[in-house]
Amino acid sequence: MKKNLTFVAGSLLGGLILVACQPDAIKNPKSGLSTQQSMAAQQATVSGQLNHAEVLALFNDRSVEGRNLIKQFTFKAWYTDDGLVRQRVTKGGESVRLHGWWHIDEQGRHCLKWSGRDEHCRIIIQEDDMYKKIYSSPNGEQTTISEFWKFADGNFYGL
């Protein structure tokens, strides 16, 4: 009986090792990419991409002014040093205040979680004097979500 258990356990372990060593065999149904390809696309460095320390220095206890290109609004935000973010969004002459949380993840991405919404993490790049928040899809396509053109220390806008 003990021999049979050892054989079964060894067979299971061997099977797990084989599966773990073959990430290309597992395809993501949405992107069609293998696990290995998807991970490489997510980790690929984009030209001008800021690292963890640079993103932290750019946002920590700083106010920013910018524009969301997808939803077509301007904003002013304050990223506190304890992970809170306060933002005033202006669209069509109307202004709305939002609050949420922010952090920089282990990949150096700027992460935001607005109250009542899912968290999203995006890379930050610098192009000349403009900073941009970029969404990188698993297949490597990149979309600029936001542009930031002004940064100031502390709660510059009184948010």
The alpha carbon torsion through 123, 128, 130, 131 (nearest 10 deg) reads 20
Of 39-48, 98-107, 115-124, 145-154, least confident by mean pLDDT is: 39-48
Long-range contacts of 141-145 (CB under 8 A, 24+ apart): 142/46, 143/70, 144/69, 145/68, 145/69, 145/70
- Summarize pLDDT for 11-48 with one digit per residue, the tens: 433 443 333 344 444 444 433 444 444 344 444 457 78
pLDDT class of 56 with cuts at 50, 70, 90: very high
Phi–psi pair at 53, nearest 5 degrees: -65, -40
> Is the model's pLDDT at 80 over the cut of 70?
yes
Report pLDDT for 45: 58
Beta bridge partners of 143: 135
> Is the model's pLDDT at 5 over the cut of 70?
no
Cβ within 8 Å of residue 94, ≥6 positions away: none
% of the chain at pLDDT higher than 70: 71
What's the mean pLDDT when you consider all of the chain? Answer: 80
Report pLDDT for 48: 85
Report pLDDT for 16: 36
Mean pLDDT of 44-68: 91
* Rounded alpha-carbon distances, angstroms, from residue 135 to 31, 57, 69, 73, 157: 15, 21, 12, 18, 27
Whole-prediction pTM value?
0.70
